[in-house]
Amino acid sequence: MLKKKSLSILALSSVIMLSACGSNGTGGTATNSTAATGKIVIKYWTANGGKIEEAKQNLVKKFNESQNRIEVQAANQGNYDDLHAKVQAAYAAGNAPGVFDLEISSTGIFSRSGMLVDLTPLAARDEAELNIKDFNPGLMGNAYVDGKLYGIPFMRSTPIFYKNVTMLKEAGLDPAGPKTWTELEQYSQVLKSKGKTPTTMAIGVWEYEALVAQSGGKVLAEDGKKALFNSPEGVAPVEFWKKMSNDGLIKFVVGKTAGADADKDWTNQISAFKIGSTAGVAAAMEISKGNNFEMATDFMPANKNYGVPTGGCHLVITSKLSEKEKEATWEFIKFMTTKENTIYQHKYVGYLPNRLSALQSEELQTYYKEFPQYKVASDQLKYAVPRPNANAYSEVSKVLIDAMTKAILEPNVKAQDSMNEAAEKANKLLSK
């Protein structure tokens, strides 16, 4: 899944120690230097593949052709897990990339470790050009850590609700689809009675964060030092999923291929609903066209209210660059996040249009009339909440997934008991 990331605190601590012992910390790194042509060479490490990588490579090519002072060399490093681990190792070795895609919930640990440049003074200096207020407020929650700006929103996402409209019509259901948890259960019962699988999904923290927000709760305390997911609002999503699973209304898939398995059911019209990133809109439209079914997107069904976390990545600058390299990297980030380029990547992939000026542009408003599937995620942002930024959140996420999996799939395990046990483990991690 595009939202996934994992970052070991122990591994990052080792990176910091190695960096302090084995790097001079001055001037340029081995991967960001001046080419024989006289250009400043900046390494840009990316995450995710397919159309997402295509869009990034296209934008890099456009940047390189737009001027003759800086050469950006983009290299894909796999998913967010892979990329983050490789950046840590490269930083310790003194040859980190100048810029990389940082999944938003890792902003806290990367910035507090000293691995990132504080962008606050650069953004203030170039406010007339950057116009930070033009970025959608719903996407800025994880950009700041301890009051300082560390990331500029780039390819940002939310989970959205994908509907196979053709399957709904064939089942005699309103193609508008379910708007609440109760309606989702009702729709699912009808689909099951028709021999269909209503929803196939992996047990994920990102999706869980949405359901907690919809229930009026929080996953962690504001200071990130205490688990709140064993509260009634945090347990309600797990109880709902367990009931849906027991009733055969959600097919939960587990293991390393869980996300891919859920996508296969959607692609092959086995399941009618899918929860997925807005980054998958373009691909989903191609799939529906190729497989001859009508698809639509919608807000995730509400409980007490709507609610959704954001995801995706910032562009960030690694520390220990020379001043010349830092300025060159900053020029690249400003280019990649312009109104024009945010419109481009939004239409090419489906990621959110980060800038309000892009969202309100005549180009996108006209585009939405033809392809309303793209607009849903932006409309849903009014209900967006930041992801937890605690240093230990990656470890806590693993604890959460284990607890939810146990509660949902093991008949004799109560959701409250499993989440209480997980909260005890999480609090130990968060107190370090």
> Does residue 4 belong to any structural domain of this protein?
no
- Rounded Cα–Cα distance for residues 26 and 8 (Å): 26
d(Cα 91, Cα 211) in Å, to the nearest integer? 36
pLDDT over threshold 80, residue 7: no
Mark whether 416 and 287 lie in a shared domain: yes
3-state secondary structure of 378: helix
Average confidence score pLDDT of the chain: 91
* pLDDT, tens digit (0-9, with 9 covering 90-100), for 151-178: 999 999 999 999 999 999 999 999 999 9
Whether 2 maps to a domain, the answer reads no
The beta-strand segments (E) located in 120-158 are 144-145, 148-149, 152-157
What are the pLDDT digits (tens) for 10-41?
A: 445 444 333 333 333 333 344 576 666 789 99
- Residue 233 domain flag: yes
Q: Is residue 323 part of a domain?
A: yes
Please, which pLDDT band fits residue 391 given cuts at 50, 70 and 90?
confident
151 plus 163 within the same structural domain: no
d(CA 415, CA 367): 44
Res 200 pLDDT > 90 = yes
Q: Are residues 352 and 288 in the same domain?
A: no
Q: Phi and psi (nearest 5°) for 408?
A: -75, -40
Distances (CA, A) of 424 to 224, 225, 226, 229: 14, 12, 9, 11
Query: Could you tell me the pLDDT band of residue 1, with boundaries at 50, 70 and 90?
Result: very low
Please check whether residues 262 and 324 belong to one and the same domain. Answer: no
Looking at the structure, tell me whether residues 33 and 140 fall in a common domain. Answer: yes
On whether both 409 and 282 belong to a single domain, the answer is yes
15 in a structural domain = yes
CATH number for the domain spanning 418: value is 3.40.190.10
Picking from 92, 142, 88, 91, the residue whose alpha carbon sits closest to that of residue 390 is 142
User: Same domain for 276 and 423?
Assistant: yes
Q: What is the mean predicted confidence (pLDDT) over 98-118?
A: 94
Judge if 256 and 398 occupy the same domain: yes
Examine the domain organization and report whether 144 and 237 are in the same domain: no
Residue 260 CA: distances (Å) to CA of 224, 266, 391:
31, 10, 28
Are residue 381 and residue 257 in the same domain, yes or no?
Answer: no
Highest mean pLDDT among 48-52, 139-143, 316-320: 316-320
* Structural domain range at position 362: 9-157+311-385
Domains of the chain: total: 2
Taking the CA atoms of 228, 231, 233 and 235 in sequence, report the sign of the dihedral they define: positive
Distance CA 144, CA 111 (A): 10
Residue 328 in tokens: 């060159």
3-state secondary structure 39-50: CEEEEEEECCCH
Are 321 and 194 in a shared domain? no
Q: Are residues 424 and 354 in the same domain?
A: no
Pairing type for strands 159-164 and 271-277 reads antiparallel
Please check whether residue 3 lies inside any domain of the structure.
Answer: no
Q: What is the pTM of this model?
A: 0.85
